[in-house]
Amino acid sequence: MRKPTPTLAVLISGRGSNLQALIEHAQRTAAYRIAVVISNRPNAGGLDLARDAGIPVEVVDHTTFTDRAAFDAALAERLDGYATDWVVLAGFMRVLTEGFVERYSGRLVNIHPSLLPAFPGLKTHEQALAAGVRVHGATVHLVTPALDHGPIVDQAVVQVLDGDTPQTLAERVLALEHRLFPRAIEALCAGRVAHAGSLAMVGAASQPLIMNIPLVDEHYGQKA
Ligand code: GRF
């Protein structure tokens, strides 16, 4: 018997460009089905992207709750109505309580715009420029109670260029996120990612996405 298509709930707060990348990948490959998109902001642009794709949408407006635990409980109740295999944070800008994270442990995934464990939190592109790193990127990871920690599923790397601003860097990283996220979710859905403790192990076939960085070695010349 054919296995049922894995299902996702995608949580957003804003424009939803990563959500759009996930939608398009599902349309192309049927690697997973997005069963619902939930936003904590009623006016998130991503809600329209979901509606246009015929995906059910829900809003759990965090401003209507007195505390984090009450919001998370309402969110969990809404999520559980869809009983999805995976809960995917795609630009969901709320810190989740430990209870919520534990409830979805092992099937809660996030994308973060830095090469974790460097630069957790906000303003990651500013942090990268301030630190003077030569490479920067994005990480898909399983969510654990510590913010922006958790087993790394996949990463993508961009070169930091002379004259980069947080804006130019953000644009290049985001373009790469749109390739990274769907393939990481597909790998998870296909059961190609094992995780033990703080480490996730992705099949050897999966190479990190490395953009625009020709491999140059002074002894061996240009490799690619
Ligand atoms: C992305 O940079 C993602 O890594 C971060 O929030 C941003 C969301 O952008 N967590 P979008 O809403 O997917 O366009």
Summarize pLDDT for 26-61 with one digit per residue, the tens.
Answer: 999 999 999 999 999 999 999 999 999 999 999 999
pLDDT, position 172: 95
What domains does the chain contain, in order, with CATH numbers?
1-104 (3.40.50.170), 111-224 (3.40.50.170)
pLDDT at 56: 98
Residue 196: predicted pLDDT = 66
What is the position in ligand 1's atom list of the atom closest to the CA of 46?
A: 12
Nearest CA to ligand 1 atom 14: 17
pLDDT score, position 219: 55
pLDDT at position 85: 98
Nearest CA to ligand 1 atom 1: 91
Q: How far is the CA of 141 from the centre of ligand 1 (A)?
A: 14
Ligand 1 centre to CA of 139 (Å) is 11
Indicate the pLDDT class of residue 210, thresholds 50, 70 and 90: low
Q: Is the omega angle on the peptide bond into residue 151 within 30 degrees of 0, that is, cis?
A: no
Q: Which of 25, 62, 112, 125 is catalytic?
A: 112
Mean pLDDT estimate for the chain: 91
Residue to substitute in 174, 176, 179, 185 for testing ligand 1 pocket (most ligand atoms within 8 angstroms of CB): 174
Residue 218 has pLDDT above 60, yes or no: no
Which residues, in sequence order, are CB contacts of 5 under 8 Å at separation 6+?
30, 31, 32, 33
Task: List ligand 1's pocket residues with C-beta within 6 A.
Answer: 14-19, 46, 90-91, 111-113, 138, 174, 177
What pLDDT is attached to residue 216? 53
Ligand 1 atom closest to Cα of residue 16: 12
List the residue whose alpha carbon is closest to atom 3 of ligand 1.
91
Confidence of residue 217 (pLDDT cuts 50, 70, 90): low
| Alpha helix (H) residue ranges in 81-215 | 98-103, 124-131, 166-189
* Among the ranges given (64-73, 89-98, 214-223), the one the predictor scored with the smallest mean pLDDT: 214-223
**Residue whose pair of structure tokens reads 């309402």 in the numeric block:** 74
Q: What is residue 31's predicted lDDT score, i.e. its pLDDT?
A: 96
**In the predicted structure, residue 122 carries a pLDDT above the cut 60:** yes
Give pLDDT, residue 3: 80
For residue 81, give Cα distances in angstroms to 75, 109, 114.
Answer: 10, 19, 33
Answer yes or no: is pLDDT of 6 > 70: yes
Look up 112 and say whether it is catalytic. yes
Average pLDDT for 192-203: 72
Q: Which atom of ligand 1 is closest in space to residue 174's alpha carbon?
A: 2
**For the segment 153-194, what is each residue's pLDDT rounded down to a tens digit?**
999 999 999 999 999 999 999 999 999 999 999 999 999 887
Q: pLDDT value at position 203? A: 59
Protein residue whose Cα sits closest to atom 10 of ligand 1: 91
Closest by CA position to 10, among listed 68, 175, 20: 20
| Ligand 1 atom nearest residue 89's Cα | 10
